[in-house]
Amino acid sequence: MAGEAGRVIAVVEPEAVRAAAVRALGVTAQAFWRIDVPPLSAVEFSGRAGRWNLRPERPLGDAR
């Protein structure tokens, strides 16, 4: 879906979120084990022009 505008919602395992966070933030692979993803939480990735931002641990149902 690269290059497409809009929002995507994905329900995934915590490991997939941690891997995406490592890639988006450009940190080393060792950081994978230091990222906690609580159950039933939303992690928002947003970005423009190849730069990603990460908003972690938003409880589901939170209407921020």
**pLDDT attached to residue 27:** 94
Cβ(41)–Cβ(57) below 8 Å: yes
Which of the two residues, 9 and 58, has the higher pLDDT score?
9
For residue 64, is pLDDT > 60? no
Which of the two residues, 47 and 5, has the higher pLDDT score?
47
pLDDT tens digit string along 21-61? 999 999 999 999 999 888 888 888 888 787 888 887 766 66
Q: Domain spans of the chain?
A: 14-59
For residue 2, is pLDDT > 90? no
43 phi and psi, to 5 degrees? Answer: -120, 125
